[in-house]
Amino acid sequence: MTQSQSHRSRFLFLLLATGVVALLLAGSLAAGDRTPAKKSVPAQAKDLSQYIGAETCKGCHEENFKKLETTPHWKTMLDTRRGKEWQGCEACHGPGMEHMIAGGDKSKIFGFKGVTTEKINARCLDCHQYGEEHSNFARSVHARNNVSCISCHSIHRAKESQFLLIAKQPQLCFSCHVESKPDFSRPFRHRVNEGLLKCTDCHNQHGGFLTKQLRGTAAQDVVCFKCHVDKAGPFTYEHHPVKTEGCMTCHLPHGSANPRLLRRSQVNLLCLECHTLSSDIDIPSAPSFHNQSQKYQACTVCHINIHGSNQSNVFFK
Ligand code: HEC
Ligand code: HEC
Ligand code: HEC
Ligand code: HEC
Ligand code: HEC
Ligand code: HEC
Ligand code: HEC
Ligand code: HEC
Ligand code: HEC
Ligand code: HEC
């Protein structure tokens, strides 16, 4: 018997074996107690006889089956602990009996097409709502703007070998965030395009509690401390804005035309935004001997440890 014959006979056998179910179904449909509206297929049905198993799907969808074998989701086939409704194809597509009996009726299977992003995300989160990384997806800016798991991941046609991504970073992110792209071509930048760090080092694409989907450190501090630990202190003499207003008061996080990712082209312009006579009375103005046409322009030549110091209250060392 050839392979395709074997599939066919298995299919016929199943068709016979489930004829009773088909009749029951037809009956209930006629009775009108069931609205077979497209996409009403439940995620995990109570009635386990509705599950036909991946081998049966393979008969008609060999390509999808073979592809799945090569991905981490194959593990769901091998894990029998939670029952067959959590295994393989039907864990994502829902029970396949009606779909099969109807000869592949698309309206009788959850196909991920023409459904809301909430429904798509809910399917995936049935298994992936664990840990800090994914448990906040519903509150993410992405979810709230109709970005779903499969906007970035593909189960059957992933382009990347890792994480089932449809494209690798940063191209994946730039495909929607075109407005951020120029930031990373500036003369001074975090070298994301060069692969030194990833967008997702700073952002949690799966959502979290902070604005701009930013990550924090393990100690719930600003993400910058993850890598720039020397700026975290605590210092005997803190430079207040570093702690109170944050890194972005002085730096642009993605990239800048100015060295050290500074917001201003000259350091003195940056400092004098706060340290002038006219500013907040709590902030000392630069002393009057700080002549701005002379050597007092390059503030950080003398005030070296601008993020804080353990030895000098004016950050000289
Ligand atoms: C982890 C969830 C998941 C599993 C497991 C899964 N699929 Fe899918 N399937 C999807 C998603 C999501 C789509 C929508 C297209 C896409 O995003 O790739 C899809 C699409 C399909 C399609 C529509 C055609 C296509 O390729 O886009 C078929 C047919 C299909 N799957 C069959 C199967 C079969 C057969 C199995 C088991 C061997 C299976 N799927 C396992 C999630 C899954
Ligand atoms: C008797 C053959 C047969 C079997 C068995 C079968 N399918 Fe299908 N399936 C089809 C046909 C035919 C289509 C429609 C293809 C088309 O029109 O593009 C289809 C379409 C689909 C789609 C796309 C739905 C959409 O909205 O576009 C998915 C997903 C799918 N099948 C999943 C499964 C899964 C999962 C199983 C096993 C539980 C399975 N199928 C078993 C024949 C079958
Ligand atoms: C905006 C794009 C995007 C969206 C939306 C998205 N992901 Fe991801 N996901 C990624 C990227 C990028 C990675 C790889 C991160 C890395 O390289 O460290 C990833 C990694 C993962 C991983 C593997 C690593 C881990 O965290 O365990 C899983 C599982 C995952 N995503 C599941 C999901 C699920 C489930 C959803 C929907 C609820 C989803 N993703 C939505 C982009 C996305
Ligand atoms: C039945 C449970 C289940 C469902 C439903 C499910 N997954 Fe998974 N997923 C898993 C398991 C198990 C792994 C493998 C984890 C491991 O390797 O430790 C996995 C791994 C992944 C990974 C990481 C792949 C890698 O290379 O490390 C991504 C991304 C992912 N799933 C996305 C999705 C998306 C998107 C959906 C919805 C379309 C989805 N999953 C639905 C169980 C599930
Ligand atoms: C499918 C399109 C799409 C992809 C791919 C995508 N995003 Fe988004 N992202 C959006 C939309 C839509 C919003 C909400 C509107 C906005 O702020 O632009 C958003 C919002 C964000 C925000 C919050 C912006 C704010 O103002 O609060 C960040 C940060 C972000 N995305 C990062 C990423 C990263 C990192 C990646 C790559 C891993 C990525 N996005 C991939 C569509 C996408
Ligand atoms: C070094 C950390 C870091 C990296 C790497 C990073 N971001 Fe950001 N991103 C931030 C911070 C911090 C903000 C918030 C800026 C603010 O609030 O002023 C932000 C803001 C954003 C925003 C909101 C709009 C805006 O510009 O304020 C988007 C969208 C975004 N980032 C996308 C991306 C993408 C896409 C990548 C990768 C190409 C990326 N980010 C890489 C730290 C980073
Ligand atoms: C994932 C690690 C990582 C995170 C998180 C990170 N950085 Fe960086 N940062 C780097 C690396 C690596 C460099 C060196 C870049 C290079 O050599 O191209 C750098 C360089 C810089 C520079 C320029 C240094 C110089 O000598 O020109 C500044 C300023 C900076 N980061 C600020 C920040 C701020 C502000 C944040 C938080 C929004 C942040 N970084 C988050 C890794 C990180
Ligand atoms: C009050 C303004 C200000 C704030 C707030 C600030 N910085 Fe800076 N930062 C500077 C200046 C000015 C320089 C350039 C110093 C120089 O010229 O040597 C600098 C340089 C840097 C550098 C590169 C040189 C070095 O010392 O390693 C890094 C990295 C950096 N800052 C990270 C941070 C991080 C992380 C934060 C938040 C915790 C932060 N900065 C907050 C003003 C600031
Ligand atoms: C966002 C406003 C802001 C910016 C920008 C800023 N500072 Fe400050 N700076 C402060 C505040 C607030 C204090 C704390 C004053 C206090 O302790 O009462 C301070 C304290 C200082 C002190 C210590 C003064 C003292 O008597 O304790 C020095 C020196 C100083 N800043 C230098 C600089 C330099 C140099 C720059 C530019 C690289 C700079 N500051 C940028 C707000 C700012
Ligand atoms: C050539 C070295 C040098 C440069 C450059 C310099 N300063 Fe100073 N700065 C000093 C000295 C010296 C003091 C006095 C320290 C003391 O009182 O112990 C001082 C003190 C300060 C104080 C503390 C004033 C107070 O009342 O507590 C501030 C604020 C300050 N400088 C800001 C700046 C700013 C802003 C710039 C750049 C525009 C700058 N400095 C450039 C040497 C310098």
Q: What is the pLDDT of residues 37-58, one digit of tens each?
A: 344 566 666 788 999 999 999 9
pTM assigned to the model: 0.91
Q: Is 317 a domain residue? A: no
Beta carbons of 238 and 308 less than 8 angstroms apart: yes
- Tell me if 169 CB under 6 Å of ligand 3: yes
Using the 3D structure, point to which of 51, 86, 108 is the last residue of a domain: 108
Q: Is 316 a domain residue? A: no
Q: Is 219 a domain residue? A: no
Residue 191, pLDDT > 90, answer yes
Compute the distance from residue 96 Cα to the ligand 4 centre, in Å. 20
- The minimum-distance atom of ligand 7 relative to the CA of 253 is 38
Q: Which domain holds residue 201?
A: 117-213
Using the 3D structure, point to which of 90, 108, 126 is the last residue of a domain: 108
Residues 182 and 234 in one domain: no
Compute the distance from residue 290 Cα to the ligand 10 centre, in Å. 7
Q: Is 182 a domain residue? A: yes
Residue 25, pLDDT > 70, answer no
Using the 3D structure, point to which of 108, 131, 156 is the last residue of a domain: 108
SS (H, E, C) 129-181: CCHHHHCCHHHCHHHHCCCCHHHHECCCCCCCCCCCECCCCCHHHHCCCHHHH
Residues 203 and 262 in one domain: no
Q: Is 220 a domain residue? A: no
Residues 8 and 100 in one domain: yes
Q: 227-260: per-residue pLDDT in tens?
A: 999 999 899 999 999 988 999 999 999 999 999 9
Q: Is 230 a domain residue? A: yes
Q: 295-306: per-residue pLDDT in tens?
A: 899 999 999 999
Mean predicted lDDT score pLDDT of the chain: 86
In the chain, the number of structural domains is 3
Compute the distance from residue 88 Cα to the ligand 5 centre, in Å. 30
Q: Residue 170: is the preceding peptide bond cis (ω within 30°)?
A: yes
Looking at residues 57-84, what average pLDDT do you find? 94
Residues 193 and 123 in one domain: yes
Q: Is 315 a domain residue? A: no
Residues 51 and 92 in one domain: yes
pLDDT of residue 42: 62
- Tell me if 164 CB under 6 Å of ligand 1: no
Pocket test for ligand 8, best of 215, 307, 316 (most atoms within 8 A of CB): 307
Compute the distance from residue 172 Cα to the ligand 6 centre, in Å. 14
Pick the closest to residue 61 from 89, 98, 30, 86 (CA basis).
89
Residues 103 and 130 in one domain: no
Residues 82 and 20 in one domain: yes
Q: Could you tell me the pLDDT band of residue 131, with boundaries at 50, 70 and 90? A: confident
Q: Is 301 a domain residue? A: yes
